[in-house]
A and B are shown apart, each in its own frame.
Chain A
């Protein structure tokens, strides 16, 4: 045993002589792989015509719309998040829910500001909820996903307004009910598909329920919309 300990001493003694900062040279290149976005950022996007800038952003937004309408488990929405799409959808929905005419009938109908506040405030609260429950998604990514998944409900709103032009009897109500129910379940399903991976597995139901409630309330506002004569 003694000789084993003796032989072990020089082995470990040698280790203590190494000081990393002097003996091992540390040099090299640190290069961050830049994506095509960053490469363009510095000088070329300032000179390009405004039409190109706007079209590029619109194209990115449109691509995300496609991702929402056919929700596969892709990370495109999470990786390149932006808030333009949610803003466009939210403003469109709020404008259409307002009815477009200002008269005394308006006292009970949700105002533009109320719809706007519900959508954004609701998204913020759901994001906070999922972060408090231990989700790993970032704040703006979650806002982005929730905002983009309002797209089916906006489409349903457009369809409902078209149906309401035809009349507002029982048949149109049933049609609107079916359309709104389908689109609200599509929204919930789409946002769950994007958000599910970032949650701890035993709390998924706790995170999905507020999303369900959020889209249910928006769907309710769409369903009960009645145009003023």
Chain B
């Protein structure tokens, strides 16, 4: 009796769990389905177990992140984050609790490209807008000055920020991978994880850049130092485990290179886009030096 009825009776699966486990080979209409079923699980689970359900769904469904990089699905996997995850990562990027490794705690083999891309875009526009506002305020009282919005700041800022956010991780990843062949270290990061860490570490500059509108040198240097300390320490704590196993000379060289590049970016942005007095623009700077010349001709 029970045997015949078993096939005919309605079987109640749990919310999404049994469905994804048992119907691995179910006909799928679109390639998006595995990702949609993961999302259904996430939508029904509580926020408390969000981070754990990431690892669980990967293990249970057996889907590894291995779509080839020319398909849309590969990039969709890189955007597989929720709003509160992004918020947590942003907060973690400038509050360095001692001992917590950003990549370990927040990324956990789920690096995303959403944060780095939009933080860089916001920073580009914040620099351009604040630079325009500050030059307007500085020259406000002068009679012959006519405010013209300088649109080239956007393109210059975009070039500088995006190349920092992509080329420096590329160089760092290449160097760490090369060293990893000689010395097995405990921690090794993928390229996307390094890009992610760098992208999120730029977040603290957004409020700093907005503070730079106020034309006071002391305040500007103060905010630079604070921002550098916070995000620099997060970067150092992230990369220190990866280079600790190496020779002390090389590991110190890497860490100091990371910090120096971070400092150069901040000071470069400040000098190129926010000159307080016209004589400041005659300072020659290492980074985009043509920009200094154009800003000095514009101020006249």
Point out residues on A near B: beta carbons under 8 Å: 4-5, 8, 105, 107-111, 114, 129, 132-134, 200-206, 209-210, 213, 216-217, 220-221, 224-226
Interface string of B60-79 (1 = CB under 8 A from A): 00000000000010011011
Residue of A108, A133, A134, A210 touching B149 (CB-CB under 8 A): A108
**Do B132 and A224 touch (CB < 8 A)?**
yes
CB distance from A145 to the nearest CB of B (A): 20
Residue of B4, B114, B298 touching A206 (CB-CB under 8 A): B114
Task: Give Cα distance in the complex from A134 to B1, angstroms.
Answer: 46
Task: Give Cα distance in the complex from A217 to B124, angstroms.
Answer: 11
Q: Residue B150 at the A interface, CB < 8 A? A: yes
Interface string of B135-174 (1 = CB under 8 A from A): 0000000000011111110000000000000000000000
Q: Residue B82 at the A interface, CB < 8 A? A: yes
Contact residues in B for A220 (Cβ distance below 8 Å): 125, 129
Contact residues in B for A110 (Cβ distance below 8 Å): 149, 151
CB distance from A133 to the nearest CB of B (A): 5
**Do B149 and A224 touch (CB < 8 A)?**
yes
Number of residues from B at the complex interface, CB < 8 A: 34
Residue of B75, B83, B125, B151 touching A203 (CB-CB under 8 A): B83
**Do B148 and A226 touch (CB < 8 A)?**
yes
CB distance from A89 to the nearest CB of B (A): 20
Could you jot down 28 A-B contacts, CB within 8 Å? A4-B1, A4-B4, A5-B3, A107-B298, A108-B298, A109-B148, A114-B151, A129-B79, A132-B72, A132-B75, A132-B114, A200-B39, A200-B43, A202-B82, A203-B83, A204-B83, A206-B82, A206-B114, A209-B118, A210-B121, A213-B118, A213-B121, A213-B122, A216-B125, A217-B125, A220-B129, A225-B149, A226-B147
Q: Residue B86 at the A interface, CB < 8 A? A: yes
Top 10 A-B pairs, shortest CB-CB distance: A132-B79, A205-B83, A108-B150, A224-B149, A108-B148, A202-B82, A110-B151, A8-B4, A133-B79, A206-B83
Contact A134 B3, CB 8 Å, known A110-B149, A202-B43, A224-B132: no
Contact A108 B152, CB 8 Å, known A4-B1, A204-B83: yes
CB distance from B293 to the nearest CB of A (A): 14
Chain B interface mostly: helix
CB distance from A43 to the nearest CB of B (A): 36
Q: Residue B236 at the A interface, CB < 8 A? A: no
**Do A129 and B146 touch (CB < 8 A)?**
no
Task: Give Cα distance in the complex from A134 to B75, angstroms.
Answer: 11
Q: Residue B249 at the A interface, CB < 8 A? A: no
Point out residues on B near A: beta carbons under 8 Å: 1, 3-4, 32, 35-36, 39, 42-43, 72, 75-76, 78-79, 81-84, 86, 114, 118, 121-122, 125, 129, 132, 146-152, 298
Contact residues in B for A204 (Cβ distance below 8 Å): 83
Q: Which of B43, B78, B121 has the most CB of A within 10 A?
A: B121
Q: Which residue of A lies closest to B155 (CB)?
A: A114
**Do A109 and B149 touch (CB < 8 A)?**
yes
**Do A206 and B43 touch (CB < 8 A)?**
no
**Do B149 and A4 touch (CB < 8 A)?**
no
**Do B132 and A206 touch (CB < 8 A)?**
no
Q: Which of B1, B86, B146, B151 has the most CB of A within 10 A?
A: B151
For the A-B complex with A108-B152, A202-B82, A226-B149 known, give 16 more contacts whose Cβ atoms are closer than 8 Å: A109-B148, A109-B149, A110-B149, A111-B151, A129-B79, A129-B118, A132-B78, A200-B43, A202-B43, A203-B83, A204-B83, A205-B83, A206-B86, A213-B122, A224-B132, A226-B146
Q: Which residue of B lies closest to A111 (CB)?
A: B151
Contact residues in A for B3 (Cβ distance below 8 Å): 4-5, 8
CB distance from B246 to the nearest CB of A (A): 36
Q: Which residue of A lies closest to B122 (CB)?
A: A213
